[in-house]
Structures are given as structure tokens and as C-alpha cells.
């Protein structure tokens, strides 16, 4: 919020701006599901025909919301009555991310539940989700898929929904995130809390077909350059990856050989300029390659354990 002037013809979709090492710092821009087909409008909070007469749009715009008309429609759709709309609007105007106010984020063509105090999944992470789905589909019947550092488990949820029969487990250090992960996975998977592999049941040791992770990878010195919505509303531990951003990734990749089966796969989101360092952190002998999607500024390093 509070960064860009309103535009006469805003793009229809928005997302949180996000920081990648070496990239220009972006603020709120595209894609959080304003065109979501599930959006309906509450009769308790009807919208004036002309947006220029809509006090909610005016208030959001004054607070710096670039996509004020779209946000007004989403807030109205989320509110059962005027009191609830007033509450949601107050939170949004105070600077809370739209997604945590609404209770969902658009991710890979679906809604993923999210709430205050956790990391809001970014659109770029859809590359990791697509990669995980592809690897899981290729792994045969009933693949074992683990998402570490799962947050609300957006990636694991996509894999669980798109790969029938997959046995999906998601884990995070933060119990609040794990509760959201459990909500999103429902009966399709399991969510557990703990520090990296400490969270996993011993029965999975050496049996994981696909391991995916979007661990924190922002260098400590760069956290201060992140958009204010992240700095003010996402716990620092969700983004701060240490001096070069790769502390958690290195710990994670140091442990993969004990958990991923021979011939199994690991895919890790990272920054474009960090990709070579991430690749170098894979165990010796693994076949490693870098995937890149410029459209969403996404980088994933994937590696296969030798058979």
C-alpha cells in the first residue's frame, strides 16, 4: 500500500511486490485474484453504480491502495454485513496485506487460505509448485512428497490436489503456519511442526520421492529493502536467510541425502543471482539444473539423487 498513485486504468490483477537479490525492489503490482470467479458481492454491502461515488473506493485510494476498485469489490465479497466490512476495511487501510485481510491468496488458479502473522505465498512460487507437480507425476504411483519450510503449504496443497494418490507431508518451524498448512491440505496431506528434518517422521527417512522447499533466502542486509507490507506483517524468520541468504537452504540441502530416496528429486526456490550458490549446496554427485520463469521472476534449482 501507500506507494504508488492510483492509475486511471489499473491492471485487473495484483500481487505483493517481492524482493529478489539483484532485482529492483517492486511494490504492489499484479495478480491476487481480483478476477477470481469465486468472488460474489454481499447484499449487505452493496456497491454504488459509479465508483466515483463509492466511499469505500475513495477511502482505499486515499490510503494508497492502487487497485482500490478491485479491493473494494473483494472486501465487500468477504464481508457478510456492514460491521464486518468496516472491520476488514480498517485493517486494510491500516496497512495489513489484502490477502490476510481477505483470508485467502490466489495461487496457481485456486484460493489458498492465509491469515495474519505468516508468510503470504507469492505468485513466483507457482514455478516451484509446477515443478513439484511434474516431478511427483513422474515418480510413479503414490509418490511421497515433502514440502519443508512450507508456510501455509501452498506448494504442497497444489501437489496434493493435482497429483491424485500422492502422499503429501508439509512442515514448518512456525506452529501458526502449520495450522494454516493443515487447513489448506485438509484430508489430502499432513502438516507438522519442527526445525527442518526434525519435523519429519522417521518412517520417511530414505523414502521421499520429491522434496520441495521455498526456505527464507533474503540476505539479512536486504530485509530492510523489502516492501513495507512484508516487513510489518511477516515474521522476520520467514524471509531472513542470513548473511548471503542461504543459511537455511544450506542446512536443508545438507540433509537431503538422508531423506530422499536414490533417484528422488529436490527442488528449491531461490533468487536468480543466488542460483549457482544454491546449486553448489546440493550434495556432490547429484544432477542439478536451474529452472527460470522470467514472467514471474522465479528461479528454482532442482536436483536428482543418483540411483
Ligand X SMILES: C[S@@+](CC[C@H](N)C(=O)[O-])C[C@H]1O[C@@H](n2cnc3c(N)ncnc32)[C@H](O)[C@@H]1O
Q: Which residues of 179-207 are buried (b: 16+ CB within 10 A; e: fewer)?
A: bbbbbbbeebbbbbbeebbebbeeebeee
Nearest to 263 by CA among 135, 102, 73, 171: 135
- Of the pair 104, 119, the CB lying nearest ligand X is at 119
CA distances from 187 to 106, 163, 181 (A): 21, 14, 11
Is 132 near ligand X (CB under 6 A)? no
- Of the pair 60, 107, the CB lying nearest ligand X is at 107
- Of the pair 54, 172, the CB lying nearest ligand X is at 172
- Of the pair 101, 154, the CB lying nearest ligand X is at 154
d(CA 17, CA 253): 27
Contacting ligand X (CB under 6 A), which of 62, 142, 228, 237?
A: 237
Which position's Cβ is nearest ligand X?
151
d(CA 36, CA 3): 25
Stretch that binds ligand X, among 20-28, 52-60, 168-176, 222-230 (CB under 6 A): 168-176
Is 174 near ligand X (CB under 6 A)? yes
Contacting ligand X (CB under 6 A), which of 15, 89, 238, 278?
A: 238
Backbone angles phi, psi at 172, to 5 degrees: -150, 155
Contacting ligand X (CB under 6 A), which of 56, 74, 102, 177?
A: 177
Residues forming contacts to ligand X in the complex (CB under 6 A) are 119, 121, 125, 149-151, 154, 172-174, 177, 195-196, 214-216, 237-239, 248
Amino acid at each position: 500500500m501507500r506507494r504508488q498513485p492510483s492509475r486511471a486504468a489499473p491492471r485487473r490483477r495484483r500481487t505483493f511486490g517481492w524482493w529478489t537479490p539483484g532485482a529492483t525492489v517492486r511494490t504492489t503490482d499484479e495478480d491476487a485474484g481480483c478476477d477470481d470467479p469465486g468472488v460474489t458481492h454481499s447484499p449487505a454491502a452493496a456497491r454504488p453504480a459509479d465508483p466515483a461515488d463509492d466511499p469505500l473506493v475513495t477511502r482505499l485510494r486515499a490510503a494508497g491502495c492502487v487497485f482500490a476498485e478491485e479491493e473494494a469489490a473483494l472486501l465487500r465479497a468477504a464481508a457478510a454485513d456492514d460491521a464486518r466490512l468496516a472491520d476488514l476495511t480498517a485493517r486494510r487501510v491500516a496497512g495489513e496485506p489484502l490477502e490476510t485481510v481477505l483470508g485467502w491468496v490466489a495461487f496457481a488458479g485456486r484460493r489458498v487460505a492465509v491469515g495474519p502473522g505468516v508468510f503470504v505465498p507469492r505468485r513466483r512460487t507457482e514455478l516451484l509448485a509446477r515443478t513439484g507437480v511434474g516431478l511427483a507425476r513422474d515418480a510413479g504411483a503414490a509418490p511421497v512428497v515433502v514440502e519443508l519450510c512450507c508456510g501455509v503449504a501452498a506448494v504442497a496443497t497444489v501437489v496434493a490436489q493435482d497429483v491424485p494418490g500422492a502422499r503429501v507431508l508439509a512442515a514448518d518451524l512456525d506452529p501458526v503456519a502449520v495450522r494454516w498448512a493443515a487447513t489448506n491440505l485438509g484430508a489430502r496431506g499432513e502438516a507438522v511442526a519442527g526445525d527442518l528434518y526434525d519435523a519429519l517422521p522417521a518412517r520417511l527417512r530414505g523414502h521421499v520421492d520429491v522434496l520441495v522447499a521455498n526456505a527464507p533466502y533474503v540476505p539479512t542486509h536486504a530485509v530492510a529493502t523489502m516492501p513495507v507490507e512484508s516487513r510489518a506483517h511477516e515474521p522476520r524468520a520467514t524471509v531472513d536467510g542470513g548473511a548471503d541468504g542461504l543459511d537455511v537452504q544450506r542446512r536443508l540441502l545438507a540433509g537431503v541425502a538422508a531423506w530422499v530416496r536414490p533417484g528422488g528429486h529436490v527442488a528449491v526456490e531461490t533468487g536468480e543471482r543466488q542460483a549457482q550458490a544454491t546449486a553448489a549446496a546440493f550434495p556432490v554427485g547429484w544432477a542439478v539444473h536451474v529452472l527460470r520463469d522470467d514472467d514471474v521472476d522465479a528461479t528454482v534449482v532442482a536436483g536428482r539423487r543418483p540411483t
